[in-house]
Amino acid sequence: MRAFIVIVAALVAPTVGAQTLTWDTTLGQPGFDQGSVSALHAWDPDGPGPQPPQLLAGGSFTSSGGQPVAHLARWTGTSWVQLGPTLSGGSPSSTVDAITTWDPDGAGPADPLLIVGGRFATDGTSTLNNIAAWNGTQFLPLGSGIGQGGVAALLSWDPDGSGPANPLLVIGGQFATPTMRICTWNGSTFTALGGGLADNVFNLILWDPDGTGPANNQIIASGSMPLPSPGIVRFDGTSWQPMGPGFTAGFVGTVISYDPDGDGPSLPLVMAGGAMTASGPTSLSRLAYWTGTQWAPFAAFDNTVRTAAMYDPDGDGPAQPQLFLAGQFTSPVASFTRWNGTAFTTINAATVSGVALRSLVFDPDDAGPLPAQLVFAGTLSVIDGQPVGRIAALKPAGNCPGDLNGDNVVDGADLSVLLATFGNVCN
């Protein structure tokens, strides 16, 4: 009981200094002309080298501003361009649904590889079968690839932490070959992870159950698996373990590791959002956290929570990272929200069309002066009253008085924002 009280106390700990945020629609003008964005990733092409990270997007889109940009795109700072040859031949249609970076030899000399997964057969030159590695110049196959159904989630996992083993690439999805729904790739061989799972895997995250303690990271997988617990399970390094009764009504849309007090003493928690309304006898309202023995309600939402992220709007300032959510909900607030330590509050998004399905913290200049942004993407077409092509970003409002749209210039665009929002009551 004492551990449960500590967790609850941490969940409601006050947040210091709520930073004023503004929407930046640069990424979405023009953004993507059709389809949806189902994957986001910050890719550092030269590792510790001088190049800043690059923002990547994957999905079912095929163009940006009328220019061909299909399924995998890179943001140049001013526009979206195709990354590599077009991935095509997917069944029933082509898409990139998962992107990660994997270093096959850990601290060794080999450069990290960019891994993309989804539903595609080829890049026009090589047979890839739903998964491929990009080495900076070309796509490389991973063995014979992944079978029909494709890849929905990717994760780099070091099974022995600081030990001598190299990281493994963990692959989850709707496939039945080479293994059932989840497997690892070590650079030469696919191996079932814990014997596989009985049904589809849609989300994968790492969770450190003891923070800075000696335990290695565990893998949390969510999807439509019925066992060992419905909807969500954990891999402890040896086998798949149940997480209480799982979710017995509704699906999981997103899972994150949530640290309620940042550098404080509380341990990271597993937070799940989606359409879940029950975990065994416990009633839920679409957002829940794992106490270590059961799923407990965190807050009540009236519709599906689709994506969650931890974002620190003031960077090196005193405030702790905050929990941000997006989805199809209208209560307690609509579409986008952040947790202030005691309640979920509104993020200025007066008019929203479409749904955010993915979110990612992205720092455009790494250690430079620009603040990190929280990027949302999915099927968005209007946000804060402005047209966007499936993607937009939140960022700190900055220290330029009158710069209401966050572009560091005070001009007619800021006046338009003021007039469009004049009279709004903000939290």
Rounded Cα distance, 406 and 373, in Å: 12
Contact (CB, 8 A) for 14 and 341? yes
pLDDT at 415: 79
d(CA 238, CA 187): 21
Q: What CA–CA distance (Å, rounded) separates 71 from 340?
A: 36
- Helix, strand, coil distribution of the chain in percent, nearest 5: 5, 40, 55
What's residue 45's pLDDT? 85
β-strands 269-274, 240-242: how paired?
unpaired
Spell out the domain ranges in the chain: 17-421
Amino acid code (one letter) for 170: V
Give me the pLDDT at residue 10, please: 43
Calpha distance 181→361 (Å, rounded):
28
Which residue, 86, 122, 117, 120, is CA-closest to 100? 117
- According to DSSP, the residues that pair with 183 across neighbouring strands are 171, 192
Tell me, what's the pLDDT at 212? 79
Residue pair 259/269 in contact (Cβ under 8 Å)? The answer is yes
- pLDDT in tens for each of the 427 residues of the chain? 334 333 443 444 434 345 789 999 999 999 999 999 999 999 998 777 788 899 999 999 999 999 999 999 999 999 999 999 999 999 999 999 999 999 988 888 888 999 999 999 999 999 999 999 999 999 999 999 999 999 999 999 999 887 888 999 999 999 999 999 999 999 999 999 999 999 999 999 999 998 878 888 999 999 999 999 999 999 999 999 999 999 999 999 999 999 887 777 888 999 999 999 999 999 999 999 999 999 999 999 999 999 999 999 887 777 788 999 999 999 999 999 999 888 999 887 668 999 999 999 999 887 778 889 999 999 999 998 899 999 999 999 865 556 554 455 677 866 776 776 677 554 4
Please tell me the predicted confidence (pLDDT) of residue 4: 37
Cα–Cα dist 399/53, whole Å: 25
pTM: 0.89
Neighbours of 283 (CB within 10 A): 11
CA 399 to mean position of chain CA atoms: 29
What's the fold here for domain 17-421? Methylamine Dehydrogenase; Chain H (2.130.10)
Coil vs helix vs strand at 406: coil
